[in-house]
Each structure stands twice: as C-alpha cells, then as structure tokens.
C-alpha cells in the first residue's frame, strides 16, 4: 500500500474509526497536501468534511474552514471534539472571552482546524491572525453559495475572491454538493482558483430508494409511509408555510411525533425544532425548503415530498438529506399533475410582482418541465437522476426505485378508460357551453349525486356514472395523468378547467393508445437496500443503544449522531462485542470515542446479551467472515473485499458493493495478491497494462510508483501499478 494512503488511513482509523476512504477522498486530500487549488463535488453524505479534516493532521498545520451557518460549524466542531480532534469555531454565538481563548489557542498552535463565517474571515483582526499563523489552506464549505446560479446564493461569499490575492501562498479548496456544471465553473472563477483539480463524484446514491406515488390523500399516504419508519428521523417537505402546519397537525393527530418548520416561525422556535430533531427527541419535521443546509443529522431514514419540488436539483438536494450515513433510506414524492400547473401559476404570479424578465420566467418554467418529466415518466429513478446530472447509470435494474421494484401497476384497459374520461368532458361542455374542473368531472364519471351535478343537468349526459365503482380520488388521479401526458389540457388560472386538445381527439377516435398507472394499492414493504443491511442486527439491542445514545447526547448538548452513528449502533447490535478489543473493531469507534463512551455502550451490550441470552462476539455474517489469509483483526471491509476477490470480482464491482474508492480497493487487491500469490492477475488487469508496468519498472529501475507512472505517461493508474508491483514481488521478479 502506498505510504500516503496508509498514513491517511492510520489517522482515519484512529480519529474516526473508519477502515477505508470513500470515492475521491484520497484525491481531495492529496490536492490539499500538494497545495493545489481544488473544486470537490460530492453528493450530500459523500464525505466532503473528511477531505479537509485529514490534511492538517498530516501536515501538522492549521487550516481554515469557511462555513455559512453557525449551526453547521457547531455540529462539525462538536463531532470533531468527540473524536479527540483539535478544532474550534469563532462566531457570534460565542462570548468575546470564548473567542479570545480560541485566538490564543490558535496562536499557541493547539488547533488543526478553525471554522469561521465568510464575514468573520474577512475582518481585519482575523486576517491579521491568519497572516501571522501563515495559513496555507482554506476550505470553503457549501461553496455553491458563491454562485448566483446556485440555489443558496449568499452575497457575503463573493468577497472570498480576495483570498487568493491576500494569501498568494495558500491553496483554496471549494466543496459543494451542487451538481450543475455551470455552478461548478462559476465557483472556480469567482474564487479565482488557479488550475484547480476538479474532482466530481458520482451522484447516484445507491442507498436511497426512490418512489413517486400518485397523490390521492396526502395525509393518509404520509402516515402510511411514516409507519414504515417508526422512531426514525424523517422530513416531509411541503410547498407553503400553511401546508407544513396542516401536515404537522395531521401527523400529530395520527400519533406521529411531528413539528412544523418554516421561515415564518421565530428564530428561537426554529432553533428548538432543529435541536430536538438533531438530538432525536423529535422524529418528523414537516417543513418548507427553509429546513435545509443546517440539517446534518446523518440518520434521516425518510424524506417525503408532499408535492413536486421546483427543480430536479432541488429534489436531489432535499432527498440527499436522507441516509447520509450510507445506510438505507427511503424518498417518496407524492405527485399530481396539478403540481406543475400550480408551480407554473406561482412562477407567473411572482414574476409579475417582481417584474421579472421573460428569460428568467422561461428558465424557471423549464426547470418545472424537467421535474415534471422526471415525475411522470415511468423509468428507473436512479437512472433518470444520474442522467439529469450528465452521468451514466451503469445498471439495468437499480433494485431501489418503485419502477425497478415493479410497484407501479398499469391500468389494463387504459385507452378505453381514457376515452370514457375524454368523452365525458366533451359531453359536459357541449351541454353547458363551458368547461369544468377536475373534481366535477370526476363526480360525474363516478355517478355522484351532488347539487352541482343536478343543477347542471350532468346526471343526464350519457357518460354519467361510466366509471361507477372507481373512487373519486382515483378518477381525479387518472385525469391528471392524462394532463401530464398532454392528452388533455388544463388552464393555468386560479380555477383551472379541462379542455380537449388535438391529442384528446386522437385518443377518442382510437388513433392513439394510452398508458395509465394505477395508484398503488398493495402495501409497500420497507426495502432495506444499502451497503450494510439489518441482517443479524438484534433490533431490541439496537433500540437500547439508541436510547443510551440519546441520553448521552442530551446531557452533553450535542446531536445524537455525534456520539455514534447508526451504522456503529447496528454493527454493535449485530456483532455484540463484549471485550474492548472486539468493540474497537467496530466501524466508527476511534480512540477518543472509545475512551469517552466505549465502556457505557459495552456494558449495555453485555447486560442486554445476558438478559436476553444473545450470542456475543459473533463476527459471523458474510462481511465479517475472515478468509484463511486474513488476520482476525482485519477490518470488515477488507475481509469482504478479500472474499469477493476470491470469487473473481472485478475492482469496479468490489468498489461499488463496498462503497469504497477504487484506489482503496486496489490497495486491498495488492494485499490480496501478496498473500494469496495467484499465478496470474489477468482478472484484474489487462495483459498490455501488466507488461507495460513490468517493463517500466525495469526501465526506471524503481519500485516507486511515481517514476513508473510518469514513465508510462500517466496512462496506467497508480492502483494498477501498485497491483502489478505486488504481483511481481510474489514472483520474485522485482528485485
Ligand atoms: P458531506 O459533507 O459530503 O455531506 P459528510 O462529510 O457529512 O458528508 O459525511 C457523511 C457521513 O459519512 C458522516 O457521517 C461521515 O462521518 C461519514 N464518512 C465520511 N467519510 C467516511 C469514510 N471514509 N468511511 C466511513 N464513513 C465516512
């Protein structure tokens, strides 16, 4: 294994208790250590923080992190301190004396990271100190705030452009989850980065299961989904402030522990809700998009959208708040074809009020169109999202969306049903001389005996009651699907009415076939996709550990996930270690956390196992089974990788199934090859690359990676070079 990687892993293991790096983390850390500017784009939960947390440990220097919100800084610093990592933040939430103490600690060289807001960074006192300390690296978190093309533009970020001028020897590293190319490029330009390393991660989040469900009764549907997530963190995004309050009230009535959150509530109230959600005394927040950037609870297991969001980018950001810990989570969007119509009307209204240009309005309308297509097309949601962000999706079946899980059920006689709906619309209009809305149309089709139906004489049209027996909500839904597919038009005003268009007549004449989806009737089982499943986890013990975690978090005024993440608790409840040695092998148990919390959690495991007669120290599922060549102390990820290599799995496959960086997997493979000494490694590298590396190693007469890499004009990756060298070594050929 290359020495830099092992140095990084040593720190990562000892501070955070992680066994391997995530994709692009090594490259991002390398850029920082090399002093090369960078733009690092990873999806939410991708692990950006680690990229700026590790370098100052290795270079033994102090780096600055610019962060837009006090709550974000606070959570990060709390998290770092529990890992024993020396970090602090300077902000207005601290007293002047506390900030002065931090300044002193900085001067004394006690801190590796200092978090500040952009405004604070650019004060003369902080700039003076930064010069005095000769700061060589600035990390800009949530860097898309600098771009007016981003969705969280903050004018104060603009002044960060001065950094490169004021600190010519320092490198600047921008971190964002924003996926659009335009914003990425704008970040580099605005920050005046010099030849930045552009590190763009994969946007797909395999641990999220996406579902788009036709909206019928949003409260009942939300309650049904939340039942699958009892005692778990969930966010329900609603369109308006009023909607969030109505949703929270409906949820509470149904016995769900929920609160609302929106920008109209006073700051104290919002903070209380945010803290309750973070320390897990509150499970569900019904919120507008104002509940966003400061929320980094890592174990949100469900994100719901009560209506369609206003762009695919917003959807990616909002759903990205689910499952940041890498464990499975569910994202459900309740969609109605009325949503895009409502959005377009809202855009037109606010454009008129703000006197916006036609160009701006058209750009917004286009975003609505994109998200409408995303919601209404019955295609793999993971694929559609990846492609939206310009990335290929490698699988045919994601196994983690309603479409691939075959949950969407087609209406058998869809064309005939569509003809009934359309001809009913035609007849009503012919009789009355004007058009009607969705609800009345559905009433007539279902044969309802309402005053409006009788008054208009619509119980006399031949299509009256043609869909008798189908619930009104379902008929409304089918009508919206026709609007969605543009087989029927709906006006854009306050009281939208339905109108037939050319496609409607084609359907009625039988020239066009129609496909419709039935609102799901069968109960959806909770899909537990994701890297680490619940297999073997004793859920009773998990619950006990969770309660212990909440108690500690509350006492120490830190978010629960800062104590231990869900993944750690699940591994504890699966493997049930009762010795210090075994406990410290668990993911997320670094040295400081063991010292701080280890005993309490260990005691809980021991007593629960005794009470319920559970087996202990059972490192016995597939991920934990040691292959013969492994030592008992090896990390679960490495053990799993070895067993996959034994079955001939490719590097890509292992990287995907273990959610590890390819470089890390090559490292494992090098070790696997060294210990199993296979005659050939053709399964993992082409013959041409093998021979090229072997030849280059002779030519440059070195076993160092860099000279070989350069000799080969950077045409073979470091990972492959490392692998060939490991194999040559086993053949005794590299000496
Ligand atoms: P982002 O800022 O990209 O949204 P974070 O930095 O908050 O993501 O990381 C998300 C979660 O992943 C955190 O709980 C973090 O501790 C965890 N994490 C980061 N890197 C690794 C790693 N190499 N192995 C395991 N977990 C990691």
Q: What is the per-residue pLDDT across 132-165, written as a single tens digit (0 to 9) for each? A: 999 999 999 999 888 876 666 778 888 898 899 9
Q: Whose CA is nearest to atom 13 of ligand 1?
A: 325
Number of domains in the chain: 5
Q: Are residues 423 and 353 in the same domain?
A: no
Residue 711 CA, distance from chain mean position? 40
| Cα 18 to middle of ligand 1, angstroms | 10
For 562-595, letters b (16+ CB in 10 Å) and e give bbbbbbbbbbbbbbbbeeeebbbbbbbbbbbbbe
Question: So what's the pLDDT on residue 8?
Answer: 95
- The mean per-residue pLDDT over the stretch 494-514 comes to 92
Looking at the CA of residue 42, tell me the nearest atom of ligand 1.
Answer: 3
Q: What is the CATH number of the domain that holds 181?
A: 3.40.50.300
Question: So what's the pLDDT on residue 150?
Answer: 60
Residues with CB under 6 A from ligand 1: 18, 20-22, 25, 42, 44-50, 296, 298, 324-325, 565
Q: Are residues 475 and 588 in the same domain?
A: no
For 178-204, letters b (16+ CB in 10 Å) and e give bbbeebbebbbebbebeebbbbbbbbb
- The mean per-residue pLDDT over the stretch 70-87 comes to 91
| Cα 116 to middle of ligand 1, angstroms | 21
Q: What is the CATH number of the domain that holds 460?
A: 1.10.10.10
Looking at the CA of residue 296, tell me the nearest atom of ligand 1.
Answer: 7
Looking at the CA of residue 326, tell me the nearest atom of ligand 1.
Answer: 12
| Cα 325 to middle of ligand 1, angstroms | 7
pLDDT per position as a tens digit, 703-723: 677 788 888 887 888 888 888
Report the residue among 49, 73, 293, 586 best suited for mutation to probe ligand 1: largest number of ligand atoms under 8 A from its CB: 49
Q: Which of 7-16, 21-30, 106-115, 359-368 is least confident?
A: 359-368
pLDDT per position as a tens digit, 572-629: 998 899 999 999 989 899 999 999 999 999 999 999 998 888 888 876 543 433 333 3
Q: Are residues 106 and 190 in the same domain?
A: yes
Helices first, then strands: H and E counts in the chain: 34, 17
Question: So what's the pLDDT on residue 630?
Answer: 42
In a domain? residue 528: no
| Cα 51 to middle of ligand 1, angstroms | 10
Q: What is the CATH number of the domain that holds 621?
A: 1.10.150.80
| Cα 47 to middle of ligand 1, angstroms | 3
Question: So what's the pLDDT on residue 1?
Answer: 46
| Cα 540 to middle of ligand 1, angstroms | 26
Q: Are residues 314 and 374 in the same domain?
A: yes
Tokens 């070079």 correspond to what residue? Answer: 721
Report the residue among 12, 46, 47, 588 best suited for mutation to probe ligand 1: largest number of ligand atoms under 8 A from its CB: 47
| Cα 412 to middle of ligand 1, angstroms | 46
Query: Structure pTM?
Result: 0.68
For 679, which DSSP code? S
Helices 312-319 and 358-376, packing angle to 10 deg: 60
How many C-alpha atoms does 374 have within 13 Å on its Cβ side?
A: 31
Q: Which of 112-126, 488-502, 628-642 is least confident?
A: 628-642
Q: Whose CA is nearest to atom 2 of ligand 1?
A: 48
User: How many whole angstroms separate alpha carbon 98 and alpha carbon 427?
Assistant: 75
In a domain? residue 524: no
| Cα 517 to middle of ligand 1, angstroms | 38
Q: Are residues 179 and 59 in the same domain?
A: yes
Of 629, 646, 669, the last residue of a domain is 629
Dihedral of the CA atoms 117, 122, 125, 129 (nearest 10)? 80
Q: Whose CA is nearest to atom 27 of ligand 1?
A: 47
Q: Are residues 236 and 343 in the same domain?
A: yes
Looking at the CA of residue 19, tell me the nearest atom of ligand 1.
Answer: 24
Q: Are residues 403 and 291 in the same domain?
A: yes
User: How many whole angstroms separate alpha carbon 609 and alpha carbon 619?
Assistant: 15
In a domain? residue 576: yes
pLDDT per position as a tens digit, 403-432: 888 787 778 889 999 999 999 999 999 999
More confident residue, 416 or 364: 416
| Cα 25 to middle of ligand 1, angstroms | 10
For 669, which DSSP code? H
Q: Are residues 144 and 70 in the same domain?
A: yes
Cβ 212 vs Cβ 381: under 8 Å:
yes
| Full domain range(s) for residue 58 | 2-200
Query: CA 158 → CA 39, 72, 198, 343, distances in Å?
Result: 16, 20, 20, 30
In a domain? residue 530: no
Of 586, 604, 629, the last residue of a domain is 629
Of 200, 217, 236, the last residue of a domain is 200
Q: Whose CA is nearest to atom 9 of ligand 1?
A: 47
Q: Whose CA is nearest to atom 14 of ligand 1?
A: 325
Report the residue among 12, 40, 50, 297 best suited for mutation to probe ligand 1: largest number of ligand atoms under 8 A from its CB: 50
Residues 6+ apart with CB under 8 A from 18: 12, 587, 588
């Amino acid at each position: 294994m290359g020495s830099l990687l092992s140095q990084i892993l040593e720190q990562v293991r000892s501070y955070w208790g992680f066994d391997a790096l995530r994709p692009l983390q090594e490259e991002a850390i390398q850029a920082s250590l090399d002093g090369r500017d960078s733009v690092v784009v990873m999806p939410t939960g991708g692990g950006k923080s680690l990229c700026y947390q590790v370098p100052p440990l290795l270079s033994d220097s102090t780096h600055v992190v610019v962060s837009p919100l006090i709550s974000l800084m606070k959570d990060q610093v709390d998290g770092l301190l529990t890992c024993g990592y020396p970090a602090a933040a300077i902000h207005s939430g601290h007293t002047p004396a506390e900030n002065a103490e931090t300044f002193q600690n900085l001067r004394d060289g006690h801190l590796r990271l200092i978090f500040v807001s952009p405004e604070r960074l650019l004060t003369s006192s902080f700039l003076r100190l930064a010069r005095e300390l000769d700061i060589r690296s600035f990390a800009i978190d949530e860097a898309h705030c600098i771009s007016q093309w981003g969705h969280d533009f903050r004018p104060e970020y603009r002044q960060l452009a001065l950094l490169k001028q004021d600190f010519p020897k320092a490198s600047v590293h921008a971190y964002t989850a924003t996926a659009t190319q335009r914003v990425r490029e704008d970040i580099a330009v605005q920050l005046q980065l010099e030849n930045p390393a552009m590190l763009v991660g994969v946007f797909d989040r395999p641990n999220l299961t996406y579902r788009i469900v036709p909206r019928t009764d949003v409260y009942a549907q939300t309650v049904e989904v939340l039942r699958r997530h009892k005692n778990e963190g969930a966010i329900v995004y609603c369109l308006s402030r009023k909607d969030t309050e109505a949703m929270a009230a409906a949820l509470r009535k149904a016995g769900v522990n929920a609160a609302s959150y929106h920008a109209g509530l006073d700051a104290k109230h919002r903070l209380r809700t945010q803290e309750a959600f973070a320390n897990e005394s509150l499970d569900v927040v019904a919120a507008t998009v104002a509940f966003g950037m400061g929320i980094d609870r890592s174990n949100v297991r469900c994100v719901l959208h009560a209506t369609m969001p206003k762009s695919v980018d917003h959807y990616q950001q909002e759903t990205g708040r689910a499952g940041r810990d890498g464990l499975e989570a569910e994202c459900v969007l309740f969609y109605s074809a009325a949503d895009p119509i409502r959005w377009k009307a809202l855009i037109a209204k606010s454009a008129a009020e703000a006197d916006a240009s036609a160009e701006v309005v058209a750009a917004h309308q286009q975003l609505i169109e994109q998200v409408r297509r995303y919601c209404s097309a019955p295609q793999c949601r993971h694929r559609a999202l990846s492609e939206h962000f310009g990335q290929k999706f490698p699988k045919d079946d994601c196994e983690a969306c309603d479409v691939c899980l075959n949950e969407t059920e087609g209406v058998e006689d869809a064309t005939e049903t569509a003809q009934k709906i359309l001809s009913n619309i035609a007849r009503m209009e012919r009789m009355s001389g004007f058009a009607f809305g969705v609800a009345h149309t559905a009433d007539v089709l279902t044969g309802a005996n309402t005053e409006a139906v009788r008054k208009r004489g619509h119980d006399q049209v031949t299509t009256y009651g043609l869909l008798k027996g189908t619930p009104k909500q379902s008929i409304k839904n089918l009508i919206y699907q026709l609007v969605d597919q543009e087989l029927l038009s709906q006006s854009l005003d306050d009281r939208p009415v339905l109108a037939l268009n050319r496609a409607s007549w084609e359907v009625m004449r039988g020239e066009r076939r129609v496909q419709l989806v039935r609102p799901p009737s069968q109960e959806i089982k909770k899909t537990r996709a994701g890297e680490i499943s619940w297999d073997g986890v004793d859920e009773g013990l998990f619950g006990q550990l969770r309660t212990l975690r909440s108690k500690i978090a509350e006492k120490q005024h830190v978010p629960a996930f800062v104590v231990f993440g869900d993944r750690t608790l699940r591994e504890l409840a699966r493997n049930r270690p009762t010795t210090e040695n075994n406990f410290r092998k668990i993911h997320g148990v670094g040295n400081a956390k063991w010292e701080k919390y280890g005993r309490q959690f260990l005691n809980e495991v021991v007593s629960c196992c005794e009470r319920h007669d559970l087996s202990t120290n059972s490192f016995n599922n597939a991920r934990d089974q040691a292959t013969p060549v492994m030592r008992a102390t090896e990390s679960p990820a490495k053990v799993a990788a070895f067993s996959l290599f034994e079955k001939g799995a490719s590097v890509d496959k292992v990287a995907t199934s273990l959610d590890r960086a390819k470089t890390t997997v090559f490292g494992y493979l090098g070790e696997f090859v060294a210990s199993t000494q296979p005659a050939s490694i053709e399964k993992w590298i082409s013959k041409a690359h093998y021979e090229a590396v072997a030849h280059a190693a002779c030519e440059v007469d070195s076993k160092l990676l860099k000279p070989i890499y350069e000799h080969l004009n950077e045409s073979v990756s470091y990972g492959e070079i490392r692998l060939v060298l490991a194999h040559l070594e086993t053949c005794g050929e590299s000496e």
